[in-house]
Amino acid sequence: MKSARSTESLHALEVPTRVVSLLVPSTCVAEVVPRSTYVPVPLSPDWVLGVMSWRSRPVPVISLEPLIDPGSVQSGIQNSDGTGAQRRGSKIVIFYPLPGRNPWEFFGIVTSAEPQSRVIDSGEGSVVAAVPGSKIIAMTIQVGDAALAIPDLDALAALLYP
């Protein structure tokens, strides 16, 4: 007999940073690419690591750590060879433009390790807490052994495009 209770699943990507692992819907993510060189953008905030070429587009690459925890160490500092590959598995997650933004405004986030696909069933995660002091984390949920932070995309858009 089929259960009356339906289970909905969320396909998501776990995006590790040095501060916390983010959980973002897979539909927000265009591609996960290897770390590559990026060109500095003068007069940008220090969390803007530069601009990289992705599918012949200029895509800004950012480090989320200073936005989540201003005292943290960034993932994206480049090595002397310009590749920034300072940790095995570190990638750049290319995000689609945030809601309401221009269609060319893709952006990349540097991860501290290999991102992982996750399927979260409804009711699987339990809210742990809001993250005090963080402008871009809406809440943290516990999924199995992992505490995963859910970003507030509106707040992120306000920071990226004030």
Partner 1 sequence: MADTGGYLRIILDGTAFLLPGNAAAAVERRENLRVEGGGDRVGAWRVSGRDRWPALLLDRGLKLLRAGSWQQAVFVRSDPQPVGLLAASVEPLTELDVTVERFTSPGAAPTARGPLFSGAWVRGTDIVLQFDPDALAAYLSQLRTNQ
Q: Which of 95, 75, 78, 85 is nearest to 25 (CA)?
A: 95
Nearer CB in complex with partner 1: 3/104: 104
Tokens describing residue 34 = 């290897």
CB of 53 to partner 1, least distance (A): 5
CB of 99 to partner 1, least distance (A): 15
Calpha distance 39→147 (Å, rounded): 33
DSSP string, 13-42: EEEE-SS-EEEEEGGGEEEEEE----B--T
Nearer CB in complex with partner 1: 121/161: 161
Cα maximum dimension of the chain: 63
Binding site for partner 1 (CB under 8 A): 36-37, 39-45, 47-48, 51-53, 56-58, 60, 62, 102, 104-105, 107, 159-162
CB of 116 to partner 1, least distance (A): 26
CB of 105 to partner 1, least distance (A): 5
Nearer CB in complex with partner 1: 37/116: 37
